[in-house]
Amino acid sequence: MKEIYNKIDFNFFFDFDFSLWEVSTFSLAGAFIYFLLNPEKFEKLIALLSRLLRFISSKVDRTYVKYDLQGKINDYLKKVSKRVKHIDIKNIKIEWIDVSAQTEKQYIQDGEMIIRLKKGDHQNENIVKASMAFISHAFLKKAKSYIAKYQRESMDLFACYDLLKEEKSEILDQFVQDFMKNKMDNEKIADFFEKYTDIDDVGIFYPVLVQELTFLGEKVFANKRDTQKIHKEVTDLVNFLYRYANRKLREDNINDFSGEYCKFGIRIIGRSLVINRDGERVYVNHLKKVAGKNETMYLIGNKEHKKFMKKVFKSCQLDLNYSLIQEETYKAIIKDPEGEPIEVKNYMMTIRNNSIKVYHKS
Amino acid sequence: MKAKLNAVHDNDLEKLLAKLNLLEKLKQGELKCKFTQEVITFDNLHSIFPEEGTIKLVSDSPEAIKLLSEYINERNL
Say if the Cβ atoms of A113 and B47 lie within 8 Å. Answer: yes
Is the pLDDT confidence value at A32 over 70?
yes
Please tell me the predicted confidence (pLDDT) of residue B77. Answer: 53
ipTM of predicted complex: 0.96
Residues of A in contact with B46 (CB under 8 A): 115-116, 129, 133
Length of chain B measured in residues: 77
Say if the Cβ atoms of B50 and A93 lie within 8 Å. Answer: no
Is the pLDDT confidence value at A321 over 80?
yes
Which tens digit of pLDDT belongs to each residue from A37-74?
Answer: 888 888 888 888 888 887 777 788 999 999 999 999 99
Residues of B in contact with A179 (CB under 8 A): 62, 66
Please tell me the predicted confidence (pLDDT) of residue A4. Answer: 53
Say if the Cβ atoms of A113 and B6 lie within 8 Å. Answer: yes
The CA–CA distances, whole Å, from A182 to A153, A177, A178, A195 equal 12, 8, 8, 18
The residue-averaged pLDDT of A224-229 equals: 82
CB distance A143 to A213 below 8 Å: yes
CB distance A293 to A265 below 8 Å: yes
Residues of B with CB under 8 A from a CB of A: 1-13, 15-16, 19-21, 45-50, 53-55, 60, 62-63, 65-66, 68-70, 72-73, 77
Domains of chain A: 20-129 (no CATH), 208-353 (3.30.110.20)
Distance CA A33, CA A26 (A): 11
Please tell me the predicted confidence (pLDDT) of residue A11. Answer: 55
Which is more confidently placed, B29 or A271? B29
Q: What is the DSSP letter of A94?
A: E
Distance CA A113, CA A116 (A): 10
Say if the Cβ atoms of B10 and A132 lie within 8 Å. Answer: no
Sheet containing B45-51: order of strands: A91-96, B2-9, A114-117, B45-51, B54-59
Please tell me the predicted confidence (pLDDT) of residue A30. Answer: 84
H or E segment at B9?
strand B2-9
Say if the Cβ atoms of B5 and A115 lie within 8 Å. Answer: yes
Is the pLDDT confidence value at A7 over 70?
no
Distance from CA of A13 to the nearest CA of B (A): 53
> Around Cβ A106, how many Cβ atoms within 10 Å?
13
Distance CA A159, CA A197 (A): 10
Q: Facing residues of A347 across strands? A: A301, A329
Instruction: Report the residue of chain B nearest A104, measured CA to CA.
Output: B20
Q: What are the residue ranges spanned by the domains of chain B?
A: 31-77
- The closest of A362, A356, A361 to A86, measured between CA atoms, is A356
Which is more confidently placed, A228 or A140? A228
Give the one of A90, A96, A132 whose C-beta lies nearest to B7's C-beta: A96
Is the pLDDT confidence value at B76 over 70?
no
Residues of B in contact with A138 (CB under 8 A): 3
Say if the Cβ atoms of A133 and B47 lie within 8 Å. Answer: yes
Instruction: Report the residue of chain A nearest B23, measured CA to CA.
Output: A104
Residues of B in contact with A119 (CB under 8 A): 9-11
Say if the Cβ atoms of A99 and B3 lie within 8 Å. Answer: no
Is the pLDDT confidence value at A263 over 90?
yes
H or E segment at A267?
strand A263-268
Which tens digit of pLDDT belongs to each residue from A111-166?
Answer: 999 999 999 999 999 999 889 888 887 787 777 878 888 998 899 999 999 999 98
> Would an 8 Å CB–CB cutoff place A133 in contact with chain B?
yes
Give the one of A116, A138, A182 whose C-beta lies nearest to B8's C-beta: A116
Say if the Cβ atoms of A138 and B3 lie within 8 Å. Answer: yes
Which tens digit of pLDDT belongs to each residue from A323-333?
Answer: 999 999 999 99
Give the one of A88, A111, A133 whose C-beta lies nearest to B65's C-beta: A133
Length of chain A measured in residues: 362
If pLDDT is split at 50, 70 and 90, which confidence band does A96 have? very high
Which tens digit of pLDDT belongs to each residue from B36-53?
Answer: 999 999 999 999 999 999
Give the one of B5, B72, B77 whose C-beta lies nearest to A92's C-beta: B5
Query: Which of A:227-246 have CB within 8 Å of B?
Result: none
Triad A302, A307, A311: Cα angle to 5°: 120
Say if the Cβ atoms of B19 and A104 lie within 8 Å. Answer: yes
Triad A108, A112, A115: Cα angle to 5°: 115
If pLDDT is split at 50, 70 and 90, which confidence band does A335 have? very high
This prediction has a pTM of 0.84
The residue-averaged pLDDT of A351-357 equals: 89
> Would an 8 Å CB–CB cutoff place A60 in contact with chain B?
no
If pLDDT is split at 50, 70 and 90, which confidence band does A183 have? confident
Where do runs of H (alpha helix) occur along chain B?
A: 10-19, 23-27, 62-75
Half-sphere exposure of A258 (CA within 13 A, CB side): 8
